[in-house]
Structure 1
Amino acid sequence: MLSAAISFVLTAGGVAFAGLRAYRRRFLSATRWFAVALLPAGLYLTGLFPLASTIGREFADWATKLVLDPRVWTGIALLGVSVVLLVTTRWVGRRGGAAVEGAPERPAAAGPAPGRPAVAPTPRASGKPVSGKPAAGKPDDGLGDFADIEEILRKRGI
């Protein structure tokens, strides 16, 4: 009986406040307040108040155990490790990790694969060979790593 009186008083107060908001031409706010004001009466009439009180008690018990029980902290740590592992594997999978799942790893071969000729490193378009040493006849100016960038800038006229 007391829960019925409280729920209907809360609903009446909410509807009155929604009416005040509508009187001040704040219709969006009035509609929101009216919707919230209907909740206590709806919860009472559907019989969900006992369920809400049970959920509230269980949540309070869980929160008490959270603070005092080391088993709960162990469970939280396991959940955290699980989330970190899932996020990490997703991130590595998107970056194209070292080995694709289900694909066999390649063995380290001493020579070229059968049926393929051995290919020597070829010089790049900048005239600098792949080995990192300057081309024959060109002095090393210390900017060998920037040769590719210079080439791109020169092509764009910058």
Structure 2
Amino acid sequence: MIAETVCSAVSAAGLGIAVVTAYRRRFLAAARLAAYSLVPVGLVMTGVVGWLADTALSPVAWAGFGVLAAAWLLFAGTRAVERRRAGTGAERKAAGRDAVAPAASAPSLGGKARPATGPAAAPGTASSRGAEPSEDFSDIEAILKKHGI
């Protein structure tokens, strides 16, 4: 009952200010003030104010808010513990990049390594790239054989 009276008084005061603003020929501002002033009356008429007043004064509702707060604290606490156990961000990223089965591509390599022809045949040099062109296709052949092609 008190909440409805307060909302009605706020609306009446807002409409009075809107009338004064319209008298000063600021019609756009007056229309905006009138719209804001009608919102509390509309909330009273729909019953929202009564529901809010009953909720705000209800001990059961406040106990419910307390239970929700406790649940949120539990979620936040368990998440913080998970983050501490997982390690730093760089460690998590490195763990995510690791292969699921690192030895899965071993059969495609054929089990033999390319022979090095001295210090000039380091990986990435021109002599190691063009040494044996048939050897470059051995990996592809192994993959095709693996899949039965």
Q: Normalized against structure 2, the TM-score is what? A: 0.45
Q: Normalized against structure 1, the TM-score is what? A: 0.43
Q: Which has the higher helix share?
A: 2
